[in-house]
């Protein structure tokens, strides 16, 4: 197997058919042989290199489809990521269907009033669509893979060690098994082929709202925002991505804005407990406040992306999120929730830039109140200082802490201002 995988491209392509026939016959043999073959990294290397060869792609896909959908064991925790990566390659190849879709659109516009001809199916697009369906189906196996990884890691341990290793292993297992699926689906939400992109978007939404995805026991699941949804919308805002399907990408942007809003509200209770903590590598984790301000910034950029219908969609999604946040007490005027005064002011400072009438529409009573001076950063930092044994901290320590806090806030605000400037230029 290793010898085949080390062939140069010319030799591998020349030997493609006999190699694939041999691999297929072995996979149809005893389960032990099938499992051993599918567990070899060289096996997936060969398939990946042959997947782009026109006269071999069909056979490669048929073999992968059999391994991933057959009741016989084929996909395990060891080859799971390699299988998804290969399915992603087939889905990406389906972008050739974008040209046919756009020509079909042009013909439909020229022949207004006439029933448009049905778009002919393309073998490469069909394979890509099937690949997306398989990726989504594999998401149902993730909970079992994670549970199995717990059993293998903690087998033979006492109770205290079991709990410790189970919690630590949950985070790495979540990343190992959920991330490949989520990132693949998000990647295909950028596919120029409209039909495949829409399919990927539907699958992504169903996966993100799955009951098995998030957990209060760890923070790893918040990557659905930082590594999936936020990067996806950032990519959708790029002109080159929009131009790959000008007619269809407008709808995709609207769907992305709605999905971000829906997922944020779906996990609102779990998100509210998050605070920005540093891990052992010194990386700061996501906090509720940071995430919300980032979402507002993305809505700003989407609303200023130049689409007339996008502005309306952004306004509706913002209204929905703001009303839920307000009714739940997550976002309230300083008189009602002094602890989140900073979040309240920062929220409206940003929203007023692109939706200046929204505040008076949603909070007419607050809008009618005379503006009161906003506390300085030092005053806000002093108010937030902890109390020890019923006594305030020593004045010198408090000043020291306040200074450190102020420097961090300044750095953060400067960074946010730079982002805003970039967003306004892109808008």
Give me the percent of the chain exceeding a pLDDT of 70. 78
The whole-model pTM stands at 0.82
The confidence band for 215, taking pLDDT boundaries of 50, 70 and 90, is confident
Higher pLDDT: 241 or 4? It is 241
* Interatomic CA distance for residues 142 and 215, integer angstroms: 14
Question: Highest mean pLDDT range out of 131-140, 160-169, 360-369?
Answer: 131-140
User: What is the reported pLDDT for 278?
Assistant: 63
Q: Which of 3-7, 32-36, 163-167 has the lowest mean pLDDT?
A: 163-167
Note the pLDDT tens digit of each residue in 394-416: 434 444 444 333 334 444 444 55
Asked if 49 contacts 9 with a C-beta cutoff of 8 angstroms, the reply is yes
Asked if 384 contacts 342 with a C-beta cutoff of 8 angstroms, the reply is no
Question: Highest mean pLDDT range out of 334-338, 350-354, 380-384?
Answer: 350-354
Higher pLDDT: 194 or 1? It is 194
Note the pLDDT tens digit of each residue in 269-310: 999 978 766 655 666 678 999 999 999 999 999 999 877 789
The confidence band for 393, taking pLDDT boundaries of 50, 70 and 90, is very low
Q: Is 96 helix (H, G, I), strand (E, B) or coil?
A: helix
DSSP, residue by residue, 145-173: HHHHHHHHHHTT--HHHHHHHHHHHHHHH
User: What is the reported pLDDT for 92?
Assistant: 97
* Interatomic CA distance for residues 358 and 351, integer angstroms: 8
Note the pLDDT tens digit of each residue in 155-207: 444 444 334 444 445 568 899 999 999 999 999 999 999 999 999 999 999 99
Angle subtended by helix axes 308-327 and 246-266, to nearest 10: 0
Dihedral angle sign, alpha carbons of residues 117, 118, 124, 128? positive
The confidence band for 113, taking pLDDT boundaries of 50, 70 and 90, is low
User: What is the reported pLDDT for 281?
Assistant: 60
């Amino acid at each position: 197997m290793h010898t085949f995988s080390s062939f140069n491209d010319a030799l591998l392509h020349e030997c493609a058919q006999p190699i694939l026939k041999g691999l297929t016959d072995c996979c149809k043999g005893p389960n032990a042989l099938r499992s051993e073959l599918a567990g070899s990294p060289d096996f997936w290397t060969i398939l990946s290199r042959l997947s782009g060869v026109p006269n071999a792609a069909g056979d490669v896909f048929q073999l992968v489809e059999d391994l991933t959908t057959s009741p016989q064991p084929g996909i395990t925790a060891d080859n799971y990521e390699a299988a998804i990566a290969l399915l992603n390659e087939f889905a990406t190849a389906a972008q050739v269907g974008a040209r046919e879709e756009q020509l079909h659109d042009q013909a439909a516009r020229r022949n207004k009033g006439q029933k448009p001809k049905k778009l002919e199916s393309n073998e490469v697009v069909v394979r890509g669509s099937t690949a997306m369906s398989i990726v989504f189906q594999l998401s149902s196996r993730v909970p079992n893979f994670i549970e199995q990884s717990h059993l293998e890691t903690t087998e033979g341990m006492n109770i205290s060690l079991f709990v410790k290793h189970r919690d630590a292993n949950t985070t790495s297992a979540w990343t190992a098994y959920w991330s490949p699926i989520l990132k693949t689906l998000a990647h295909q939400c950028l596919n120029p082929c409209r039909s495949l992109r829409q399919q990927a978007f539907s699958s992504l939404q169903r996966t993100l709202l799955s009951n098995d995805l998030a957990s209060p026991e760890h923070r790893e699941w918040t990557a659905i925002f930082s590594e999936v949804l936020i990067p996806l919308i950032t990519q959708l805002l790029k002109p080159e991505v929009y131009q790959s399907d000008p007619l269809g990408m407008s709808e995709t942007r609207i769907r992305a804005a709605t999905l971000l809003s829906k997922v944020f509200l779906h996990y609102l209770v779990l998100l509210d407990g998050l605070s920005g903590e540093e891990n052992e590598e010194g990386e700061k984790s996501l906090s509720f406040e940071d995430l919300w301000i980032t979402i507002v910034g993305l809505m700003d950029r989407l609303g200023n992306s130049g689409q007339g219908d996008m502005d309306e969609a952004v306004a509706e999604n913002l209204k929905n999120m703001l009303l839920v946040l307000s009714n739940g007490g997550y976002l309230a005027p300083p008189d009602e929730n002094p602890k989140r005064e900073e979040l309240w002011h920062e929220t409206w400072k940003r929203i007023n830039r692109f939706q200046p009438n929204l505040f008076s529409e949603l909070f007419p009573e607050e809008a009618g109140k005379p503006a009161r001076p906003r506390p300085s950063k030092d005053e806000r930092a002093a108010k937030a200082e902890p109390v020890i044994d019923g006594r305030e901290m020593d004045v010198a320590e408090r000043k020291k802490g306040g200074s450190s806090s102020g420097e961090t806030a300044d750095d953060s605000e400067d960074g946010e201002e730079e982002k805003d400037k970039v967003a306004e230029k892109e808008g």
